[in-house]
């Protein structure tokens, strides 16, 4: 089956630092990758959609300058949380799709971020 990895699985950082999260599709080419955020007891919220080689499309209310997304290859996308603050503490999950839609997507294991 399709496997998606994320690194790191968890990170604790000080307020003001930047954190980079990697998402890799290990056995297929991901035309599209999606980045989600999930707060405790809440649903997954789509943050942005990225296609290889083009700028990411951000959902309403998500600051593109704060959450930098790079999709440099068909197997790798990165999310950088810049100048992280405690309210950015959350569970960040990526998913990858061989196509352009979200209907067929394979989730990574998630990255738990805690900003002190």
Partner 1 sequence: RKEVEQDPGPFNVPEGATVAFNCTYSNSASQSFFWYRQDCRKEPKLLMSVYSSGNEDGRFTAQLNRASQYISLLIRDSKLSDSATYLCVVAGGFKTIFGAGTRLFVKA
Q: How far is the CB of 34 from partner 1 (least distance, A)?
A: 8
| Contact set with partner 1 (CB under 8 A) | 41-46, 91, 93, 100-103, 105, 107-110, 112
Identity of the residue, 45 or 82, whose beta carbon is nearer to partner 1 in the bound complex: 45
Q: What's the sign of the alpha-carbon dihedral 77, 81, 86, 88? A: negative
**Nearer residue to partner 1 within complex by CB, 18 or 100:** 100
Which of 95, 115, 90, 116 shows the shortest CA–CA distance to 106?
A: 95
Least spacing, CB of residue 16 vs partner 1, in Å: 26
Radius of gyration of the chain (CA): 13
Nearer to partner 1, 57 or 82 (CB): 57
Three-state SS at 87: helix
């Amino acid at each position: 089956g399709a496997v998606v990895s994320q690194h790191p699985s968890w990170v604790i950082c000080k307020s003001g630092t930047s954190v980079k999260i990697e998402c890799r599709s290990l056995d297929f080419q991901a035309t599209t990758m999606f980045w989600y955020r999930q707060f405790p007891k809440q649903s997954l919220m789509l943050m942005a959609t990225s296609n290889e080689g083009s700028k990411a499309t951000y959902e309403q209310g998500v600051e593109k300058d704060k959450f930098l997304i790079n999709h440099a290859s068909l197997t790798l996308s990165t999310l950088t949380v810049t100048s992280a603050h405690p309210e950015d503490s959350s569970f960040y999950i990526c998913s990858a799709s061989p196509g352009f839609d979200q209907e067929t997507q394979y989730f990574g294991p998630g990255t738990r971020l805690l900003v002190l």
